Structure formats: C-alpha cells, structure tokens
Amino acid sequence: MNPIVKDLINKIKNQKGLKEINLGELIKPEKYAHRISKELKLTRVQLRKVFTEFKSIYDIYIKTKGKDENEIKTRLYKLYPILQYQVNRKLIDNDFKELMWEILNSLDQNLENFENTMEFIKALVAYSKE
C-alpha cells in the first residue's frame, strides 16, 4: 500500500475520522490530498463518480442538518460497491478504494466528519490530472 495512503488511513482510524485532522494538513499543497492525487495518479474522470455521489449525499446532509441520518447512511453504504466496481474495472487504484472505505466507515460512526471529508474530496479533484 502507498505509504501516504496508509498514513492517512491510520490517522483516520486513530482519530475517528477526518474531523479531528487539521484541514490544512488534508488540503494544502503538498499535504494529503495533493500527494495522494499525484502519487496514485488520480484523474478527474476517475474521481467524477465518487465526487458526484459524495456531493449529492453532502447536499442532503446540509439541507437536513444531519437529521436525516438513515437516508444519508443508506446512500453512503451504496458507495462501497460502486468503489469496488471501479477497482474491478481498473478505473481507480485499490489503495484509493481502501482510503475511501475507511472514510465511509468514519462517516458511518460520526456524520460530523462530513465537512472535512467533502473538503478533502474537493481537494483531490482540484489536484488531479485533467
């Protein structure tokens, strides 16, 4: 597994999500989002499906102020097979899938992780290749 991905997964596990990780550490240049995007050679095409799904779920989270927890979590659960399918078709790297699964696990435990999660995913897209 890529060392930067492994490091972030460990931080997510130890700190119970992205909420506890400094946003600058996640999204500033040369930090996690930037390095992961470059080292895994993620492209916008690869990230588009993941970003679109997260964005639509995040919009529900914002509109309901997190109160529609069942709907939000049900939609988050549907991302697991989508990510696996993308790995199977070699559209995304397995390390990226493992990272996203860990992020989904942290959201399942605490939806308050959603804001930093969304910022992280936006940064991945911003730093990705065209």
The chain-wide mean pLDDT, for the chain, equals 94
pLDDT in tens, 24-83: 999 999 999 999 999 998 888 889 889 999 999 999 999 998 888 999 999 999 999 999
pLDDT in tens, 81-106: 999 999 999 989 999 999 999 999 99
Which residue type occupies 56? S
Q: How far apart are CA 65 and CA 92, in angstroms?
A: 31
Q: Contact 9/72 with Cβ under 8 angstroms?
A: no
Q: Contact 103/9 with Cβ under 8 angstroms?
A: no
pLDDT at 130 over 80: no
- pTM of the predicted model, to two decimals? 0.94
Say how many domains are in the chain: 1
Its domain, for residue 111, covers: 3-127
